[in-house]
Amino acid sequence: MQSPTSTKALNSSGSAVYAAIVSFCTYTCIFSFRKAFNVSSYQGYSVLGLDLKTILVITQVAGYMFSKFYGIKFIAELRRLGRGKLILLLVGISWLAWLLFALIPPPYNFWTLFFNGFPLGLLWGVVFSYVEGRRTTDFISAALAVSFIFGSGVCKSTASWVMQAWKVSEYWMPFVVGLIFFLPLLVFVYAMEKIPPPDEKDVQLRTIRIPMDTAKRKLFLRSFLPGLIALIVIYILVTILREVRDNYMADMWRESGELFQSAVFVETETIISLILLVIIGSMIMLRNNFSVLMITHGIMILGFVVAALATMLFGNGSISMFSWTTSVGLGLYMVYIPYNSLLFDRLIATFRFAGTVGFLIYIADSFGYLGSVAVLISKSIFRLEMHWLHFYQNLVLLMAVVGVMGTIFSIFYFNSKYKKIKV
C-alpha cells in the first residue's frame, strides 16, 4: 500500500507530465499562426523601395514588439479566470489577419501582419501562467519552451507541403495552415484548463505567484536593475539572432547552394528540441534555486560558444549547411530557452519575491523585439550589400562575444546580491 507521501509524489509527477504535454501541444499549434509565411519569398512586389518579404517580416515583428510592451502590464496583472477563452480570442484575431492578407491584393496587404503579430505576442505569458511557480516548472516549461523550436519547424514544413501538395498560393497558405491547426488547438486549450494549480509544497519551494501591481513592479526593478539590464541586453542579442534565423533561414539555405527540402526544418528543430528538453528538464532534480540560477548562466555562455564555433567551422567549409543550421540553432536556443523557462522562475524563487515570471519575460521580450526591428530596418534601409547568409554569420560572431561578456557580468551581480541576503 502506498503512503500518502508517495501518492502525492506520484500525482505530482503525473500532473507535471500532463501539463508538459498539453502546454507543448498548445503552443505548437499557436506557433503555426505566426511562422508559416516565412517559407515563401513573396517576390515581385515592393513597398517604399523594400522587397515585400522584408516589409512583411518587419510589420509582423513590429506588432509582436508592441504587444510585448503592452504585455508588461497586461501579463503582470493577468487573472487566472477566463484564460482559455482569451487564448482562443487572441489566436482568432491573428487568424483573421491572415484571411485579410489573402483577400487584399499585394503589396497593399502588408499591414495585416501587424494585427497578426500583436495578439500572438501576448500568448506566451498567458500560456506560461498555467505552469509557473511549481517544483516541476523546470520540466514543464522546458517542454513548453522547446515547443516554439519544434513548432517553427512543423509549421514551416506544413506550409511547404500545403503549397506543393494542395497547390495553395503563398498568400492563402498562412490561413490554410491555421485552419489545419485550429481544431487541435481547441482540444489542447480545453486540456490546459484542467491543469491543477500549484500546491502548498510548490508555494513553499518556489514562492507564491500573484498578479503584480505598479508598486510591486517598480520595487522589483529597483531591487535588481543592474542585473536585469545585463540580462535584457543578452536577450536582445539572442532574440535578434533567433528572429533572423526563423524568418530567413529558408533564404539562407537557398543562398548556400545546397539542396533545400521542406522537411529539413522538422529535422533540425526536432534535434534541437530533444537536446534542450533533456538539458533544461534535468534541472528539476536540483532544489537549490540559486545553484540552478548560476548553472543556467553557464548554459547560456556555452550556447554562445557553440553558435560561434559552428559559424567559424561553416565559414571555412568544415561543416555542411545542415550541421551549421542545427548547431547554431542549438547554441542560440541554449540562451533563449532558459529565459522562457528556468532563468526568471528561479530568480524569483531565489530572492523570494512574490510576483510573476510573465512580467520579467515581457520586459526582456519587448526590448528584444525592438532590437530585431532595428536590425531588420537598418539592413534594408541602409542597403547593406550583404546576403542574409553572410550577414547572419557575422551577426552570430559579434553577438557571441558581447553575449558572453554580459552573462559573466550577470553572474557576478546576482552572486553578490545573493551573498548579501545570506549574511
281 closest CA partner among 16, 8, 4, 45 = 16
Interatomic CA distance for residues 119 and 99, integer angstroms:
15
d(CA 376, CA 374): 6
pLDDT tens by residue, 232-280: 999 998 988 888 888 778 788 888 877 767 677 778 888 888 898 888 8
CB 3 within 8 A of CB 123: no
**Phi, psi (degrees; rounded to nearest 5) at 111:** -65, -20
DSSP secondary structure code for residue 105 in this structure: P
> What is the Cα–Cα distance from 135 to 132, expressed in whole angstroms?
9
Select 14-197+211-422's CATH number: 3.90.1150.10, 3.90.550.10, 1.20.1250.20, 3.40.710.10. 1.20.1250.20
- The residue type of 44 is G
179/181 Cα distance (integer angstroms):
6
What totals of helices (H) and strands (E) does the chain contain, helices first?
A: 15, 2
Q: Which residue ranges in the chain fall short of pLDDT 70?
A: 1-12, 260, 262, 379-386, 423
Q: Which of 373, 327, 341 is nearest to 117 (CA)?
A: 373
Q: Return the domain boundaries, the chain.
A: 14-197+211-422
Amino acid 423: pLDDT: 54
What pLDDT was estimated at residue 12?
66
The model carries a pTM of 0.80
Angle between helices 83-103 and 4-35 (to 10 degrees): 20
Burial (CB count <10 Å: 0-12, 13-18, 19+), residue 105: exposed
- Per-residue confidence (pLDDT) for residue 178, from 0 to 100: 97
Taking only the tens place, the pLDDT of each residue in 121-167 is 999 999 988 988 888 887 888 788 788 778 888 898 899 999 999 99
Are 131 and 11 in contact by the 8 Å Cβ rule? The answer is no
* pLDDT (0 to 100) of residue 8: 45
Residue that has been written with the C-alpha cell 513597398 in this structure: 47
User: For position 45, what pLDDT does the model report?
Assistant: 93
Q: What Cα–Cα distance (Å) separates residue 375 from each residue in 24, 201, 372, 384?
A: 30, 45, 5, 11
Beta bridge partners of 50: 47
Grid cell in block for residue 219:
520595487
